[in-house]
């Protein structure tokens, strides 16, 4: 969806800004914009004394379009709608940015809610959709941001040229600043000990190794089943820190929004219709990027160690002596269990759960069907859509009851999730329902009866069931 307003900032220091109006409303706007150290001109017959105190120039008369001359911004904040409208009209004609409080249709710019930690400022807007939500967000952010943040930013600013002079590589500079901001310098400063912060920063400046990781590294990161809310905090941190991200099809686009903006991205496919990079080639890519000194994130759907070939990548990287971190993710079975309210274990239904792959070398998986039937576990089958019919047949042959409840969850935890419920012997119909394309898991076991009926998108009716 398009942004309703595109946030940019205007450096207004010393710039002429016009406020038309002399009452409370005008004062509120003037106070806000005065924070930018602009030069304020007020046009009003009887301006409030507080307004006069803020202004560099007062024009105690009615507005005329000539007032706009040389001004970059104008606020039309009289109590008179007709006057506000004529100011807006004149401004539009003259190409001057205009704001009329509470009249978005007359505005060429709107005022966001502002959090001020000068020189850091945060603007929040909902494009008019919910001012109250914006206010709440602002309160939350105000509470979360240290009051000393602005002062800290100014402190850092004072060292920029020294850092530039001692580190000519852009990446080295970024790592230096990250180590300063994430480490003891920031801690001392924000705790109020500026002297200690200063000393620590001087030491860091003279230490060429400060913040520089020796060589690259790889994080195998689980992105969860789709919903970005299910990312772990650690995954978020690693994504924000990455130089390079290697991702595949299972990773939701919304999750890619959390990747550091400047990170390079490699899409390595894994879709039926697209060219797929072989696992061997992916391994080589990870090794090459890490050896070039980069912080590499290998981002995978679900958990990297659950049918994700994370184990293979780990072995290759380890053999090359590359440091590896594993960041677990919520695997599809558990994500889907939560989003359909199917508990994978339950004292009245299943003493355990078994995860298997439904994908075998020649299509049909190579599993110990007898053992699976005997276990009385909930059975979760990954990658089982294509072989659903063969899987159902094998399980029934091995002694599992044909009327054992079964569910198919497609695109679990995503807005377009589908939950198709039926029985084991009807699995082929389940898979055919809706023309599911995946990714999907199959859940077999009586826990399926606990699924929230409201979330079932299709119940495969009895008369559709075929004998398998």
CA 186, CA 197: separation in Å to the nearest integer? 7
249: annotated active-site residue: no
Q: In this structure, are strands 16-20 and 73-76 parallel, antiparallel, or unpaired? A: parallel
291: annotated active-site residue: no
Cβ atoms < 10 Å from Cβ of 110: 14
The distance from CA 141 to its chain's CA centroid, rounded to whole angstroms, is 17
- CA nearest 272: which of 385, 194, 154? 385
Q: Phi/psi zone of residue 461: left (φ > 0), alpha (ψ -120 to 50 degrees), beta?
A: beta
Q: How far is the CB of 88 from ligand SAH (least distance, A)?
A: 49
Q: Which is nearer to ligand SAH, 47 or 337 (CB)?
A: 337
- CA nearest 263: which of 279, 250, 246? 246
Q: Which is nearer to ligand SAH, 96 or 230 (CB)?
A: 230
Q: How many residues does the chain have?
A: 468
Tokens 């990714």 locate to: 439
Q: How far is the CB of 303 from ligand SAH (least distance, A)?
A: 4
- The residues that touch ligand SAH, with contacts defined as CB under 6 A, are 225-226, 250, 300-303, 306-308, 331-332, 336, 382-383, 409, 411-413, 438-441
Q: How far is the CB of 228 from ligand SAH (least distance, A)?
A: 12
Q: Which is nearer to ligand SAH, 76 or 223 (CB)?
A: 223
Q: Which is nearer to ligand SAH, 90 or 356 (CB)?
A: 356
Q: Which residue is nearest to ligand SAH (CB)?
A: 302
Q: How far is the CB of 370 from ligand SAH (least distance, A)?
A: 23
CA 6, CA 380: separation in Å to the nearest integer? 45
DSSP structure string for 89-122: HHHHHHT-EEE-TT-GGG-SS-PPEEEEETTEEE
Q: How far is the CB of 357 from ligand SAH (least distance, A)?
A: 7
Residue pair 253/265 in contact (Cβ under 8 Å)? The answer is no
DSSP structure string for 411-467: STTSTT-EEEEEEGGGHHHHHHGGG--S-EEEEESGGGGGS-GGG-SEE--GGG---
Q: How far is the CB of 312 from ligand SAH (least distance, A)?
A: 13
Q: Residues 241, 270, 291, 403: which is the catalytic one?
A: 270
Q: Residues 67, 248, 252, 303: which is the catalytic one?
A: 248
Q: Which is nearer to ligand SAH, 22 or 412 (CB)?
A: 412
Q: Which is nearer to ligand SAH, 227 or 425 (CB)?
A: 227
Active-site positions read 248, 270
């Amino acid at each position: 969806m398009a942004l309703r307003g595109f946030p940019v900032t205007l450096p207004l220091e010393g710039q002429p800004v016009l406020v038309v109006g002399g009452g409370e409303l005008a004062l509120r706007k003037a106070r806000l914009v005065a924070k930018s150290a602009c030069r304020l001109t007020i046009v009003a017959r009887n301006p409030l004394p507080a307004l006069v105190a803020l202004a560099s120039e007062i024009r105690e008369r009615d507005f005329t379009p000539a007032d706009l001359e040389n001004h970059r911004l104008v606020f039309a904040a009289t109590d008179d709608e007709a006057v506000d409208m004529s100011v807006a009209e004149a401004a539009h004609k003259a190409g001057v940015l205009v704001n009329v409080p509470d009249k978005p249709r007359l505005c060429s710019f709107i005022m966001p809610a502002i959090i001020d930690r000068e020189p850091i400022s945060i603007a929040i807007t909902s494009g008019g959709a919910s001012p109250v939500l914006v206010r709440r967000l602002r309160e939350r952010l105000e509470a979360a941001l240290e009051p000393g943040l602005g002062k800290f930013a100014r402190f850092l600013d004072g060292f920029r040229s020294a850092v530039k002079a001692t580190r000519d590589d852009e990446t080295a500079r970024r790592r230096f600043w990250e180590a300063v901001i994430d480490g003891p310098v920031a801690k001392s400063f924000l705790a109020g000990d500026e002297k200690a912060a200063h000393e620590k920063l001087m030491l860091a400046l003279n230490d060429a190794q400060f913040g520089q990781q020796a060589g690259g590294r790889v994080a195998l990161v689980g992105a969860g089943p789709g919903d970005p809310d299910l990312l772990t905090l650690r995954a978020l941190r690693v994504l924000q820190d990455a130089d390079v991200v290697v991702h595949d099809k299972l990773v939701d686009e919304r999750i890619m929004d959390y990747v550091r903006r400047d990170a390079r991205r490699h899409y390595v496919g894994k879709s039926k219709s697209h060219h797929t990079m072989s696992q061997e080639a992916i391994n080589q890519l990870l090794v090459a990027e890490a050896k070039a000194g980069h912080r590499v994130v290998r981002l995978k759907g679900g958990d990297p160690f659950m049918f994700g070939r994370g184990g293979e990548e780990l072995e290759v990287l380890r053999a090359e002596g590359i440091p590896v971190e594993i960041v677990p993710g919520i695997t599809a079975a558990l994500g889907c269990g939560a989003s359909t309210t199917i508990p994978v274990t339950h004292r009245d239904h299943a003493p355990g759960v078994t995860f298997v792959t439904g994908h075998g070398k020649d299509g049909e998986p190579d599993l110990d069907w007898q053992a699976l039937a005997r276990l009385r576990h909930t059975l979760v089958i990954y990658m089982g859509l294509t072989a659903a019919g063969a899987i159902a047949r094998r399980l029934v042959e091995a002694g599992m009851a044909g009327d054992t409840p079964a569910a198919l969850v497609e695109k679990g935890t995503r807005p377009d999730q589908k939950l198709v419920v039926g029985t084991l012997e009807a699995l082929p119909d389940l898979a055919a329902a809706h023309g599911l394309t995946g990714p999907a898991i199959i859940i077999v076991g009586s826990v399926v009866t606990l699924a929230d009926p409201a979330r079932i998108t299709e119940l495969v009716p009895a008369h559709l069931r075929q004998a398998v």
